[in-house]
Structure 1
Amino acid sequence: MRLLFHLFVFLIAAVSLSAQVAVETAPDFTVKDVDGNQHHLYDYLDNGKLVVIDFFTTNCGPCQTYASEVSASYEYFGCNHGDVIYLGINWGSDNDLVRQFDSIWGAYYPSVSGLQGGGNAVVDLYQVQSYPTVILIAPDRSILNNHIWPPEAVNINAEVLAAGGIPMSCTVNAGLHQPETEERLQVFHPDGGAVHIVPSGLQGKVYRLTVHGADGRLVFDGSPAASGHSLRLAGGIYVAALTAEGRRSAVSKFIVP
């Protein structure tokens, strides 16, 4: 039994180490993100930008876990308004599923779906072996790191800083995924499996409140009431998201015991 356990640990480590792209020089591509914006890799590189790419799938547990970490690094370097560009390249999903992934798991950087944005072709071009794979590309087209692991903000930031990336404030309301700061969602647990979700700071906009389970299942979808919404949920991890005018304004992750 102990031998089997050590073999299992070895196999997991081997999978982690092999999670990378199989090219050393970045091939060019042009893709369109879920908001309809076009991204041409060599245009960014020719303008002296570093480029961080997060290759992901929407049903991958580690991809879900690390999406918010990549977002934190994206914000640290200016939300694509500095000398570092961040892109999420999906394999296998359409725009709607990628938007849902972004909303639930906190991916604020531009995301490209596999089916409609051209992500599948890029994944094939880079010979991505597993997910998530986060890479760093230099302006001279060399791939400086083909597997930043684990893709936590501190690790991504260290690689980008070493390559000359300059931190800067994230521009608010820059037209990408950056959420506004006035609106809030608070989650209270009055008893047992009951939760009370209360929005605050609402402005003169049309809002939508959604609650998803960790498996992506939608458990609530409606207009937020100022007094809040009481829901009785099974135990697990949930994400409440407040959106307005097609953009996320607030999010709150919570656990129901």
Structure 2
Amino acid sequence: MNGAGEGSSASSGPGAPTPQAFKWALLIPVVLLGAALAYAAWHLAGGGGPKAAVGQSAPELTLTDLEGRTFHLSDYRGRVVVLNFFTSWCPPCQQEAPDLARFAQSAGPGTVLVMVDRGEAEGPVRRFIQQYGIDAHVVMDPDNRASQAFGVTGQPETFIIDRQGIIRQHVIGPTTATGLEQMTAPWE
């Protein structure tokens, strides 16, 4: 009874680790290390930094518009800015678009609508703006850095920024032309 089978059963007897246990023992630290590295990269990229908040100065944005020009949010100091984050494929953004068009047409000269597209190609954005007839300054946020700076987690999200560059309102979800008129009126 002292054959080869008996010797091999002694090494895998009760209490001895199985090959699966060794795999899990190696896999768990690798997964945890990967998660820690992903979190560190997200944090360094701005994901963990301070976010824009009502009552604080709006973060500076430097983006490119649909005509290839550089856009700086600070260039609009002295005007009320309605800063709308959107994507063309988003149903709530599509629902909101006619109201944005109406608001842009009725807004006084001291108010400007700036729309920030979140990571799309220019073609769909141009079609969206043309389809709804929106007269706005449209800028592209291809890497979502502007969205991160403002703490945007979805779309649409809209910020009302007063003439001094202070965020006065933050709306999550679609808004209306009437709502925008009411939110901007105190700051005009």
**Same fold, TM exceeding 0.5?**
yes
Alignment of 1:205-220 (within 5 A): none
Structure 2 counterpart of 1:104: 131
CA contact (8 A) 2:155 2:173 kept: no
Structure 2 counterpart of 1:143: 167
Structure 2 counterpart of 1:23: 52
Superposed CA RMSD: 1.8
Query: Does the residue aligned with 2:171 lie in a helix, a strand or coil?
Result: coil
The structure that is helix-richer by fraction is: 2
Query: Does the residue aligned with 2:135 lie in a helix, a strand or coil?
Result: coil
Structure 2 counterpart of 1:36: 68
CA contact (8 A) 1:34 1:113 kept: yes
- Distance in 1 of aligned mates of 2:134 and 2:91: 14
- Answering whether residue 101 of structure 2 is matched by residue 71 of structure 1, we say yes
- Answering whether residue 119 of structure 2 is matched by residue 87 of structure 1, we say no
Deviation at 1:38, TM superposition (A): 3.2
- Distance in 2 of aligned mates of 1:74 and 1:38: 21
The runs of at least 4 consecutive aligned structure 1 residues that moved more than 4 Å come to none
Structure 2 counterpart of 1:57: 87
Query: Does the residue aligned with 2:141 lie in a helix, a strand or coil?
Result: coil
Deviation at 1:30, TM superposition (A): 1.8
Q: What's the TM-score, normalizing by structure 1?
A: 0.49
Return 5+ residue gaps in structure 1 as ranges. Answer: 1-21, 166-257
Deviations along 1:150-198, one digit per CA (max 9) or x if unpaired, are 41000000111122x2xxxxxxxxxxxxxxxxxxxxxxxxxxxxxxxxx
- Distance in 2 of aligned mates of 1:160 and 1:97: 29
Structure 2 counterpart of 1:202: none
CA contact (8 A) 2:156 2:172 kept: no
CA contact (8 A) 1:88 1:111 kept: yes
Return 5+ residue gaps in structure 2 as ranges. Answer: 1-50
Q: Which has the higher mean CA deviation after the structures are superposed, 154-163 or 32-41? A: 32-41
Deviation at 1:84, TM superposition (A): 1.0
Deviations along 1:38-72, one digit per CA (max 9) or x if unpaired, are 32111211xx1111111001210010111121121
Query: Considering only CA atoms, is the larger Rg found in Structure 1 or Structure 2?
Result: 2
The structure that is strand-richer by fraction is: 1
Q: Which amino acid aligns with 1:51?
A: V
CA contact (8 A) 2:93 2:174 kept: no
Query: Does the residue aligned with 1:147 lie in a helix, a strand or coil?
Result: strand
Structure 2 counterpart of 1:194: none
Q: Which has the higher contact order (CA 8 A, sep 6+)?
A: 2
